[in-house]
Amino acid sequence: MEFAETPFHFELPPELLENIIISLKRAGGRRERRKSVRQRFPLLQMMAPFYRKMPKANQFVPVLCYDLSTAGVAFYWPSAPDFSKAILGLGERSQLTYVAARVVRKVDCGPNGRVLLGCEFVDRVGVS
């Protein structure tokens, strides 16, 4: 899948990113069981599917997010995914915070094949 060079618009409030990191530390990599409030988040962020190996920085593509909370994120994918885990780059493009996420929900968005993927944050990770 190829994406044209797209201007990025990042408006992730620093305090929300910090709350995500705190939530991940508190969970210690365990599944988050509390419900958290989701906020509409119709912005582009970076994502790479996880296939047994940590993706390289050049393997990330922009995805349009739908909503975000301290426990997870939902974003649109162009077709049914062939992955169950992903790495997301959140925040400013020059200073992304990378988090591992598990796909926990898939919702078809009509005849064009687009899918809304709901993901649960698992842990903070590093990407080279």
* Backbone torsions φ then ψ of 13, nearest 5 degrees: -60, 130
Of 70, 56, 66, 75, nearest to 125 (Cα)? 56
Residue 31 has pLDDT above 70, yes or no: no
| Mean pLDDT of the region 4-12 | 54
Query: pLDDT tens digits for 79-101?
Result: 999 999 999 999 988 889 999 99
Of 58, 62, 57, nearest to 98 (Cα)? 57
The residues near 44 (Cβ < 8 Å, ≥ 6 apart) are 6, 8, 9, 10, 62, 63, 64, 65
Residue 8 has pLDDT above 70, yes or no: no
- pLDDT-based confidence at 110, cuts 50/70/90? confident
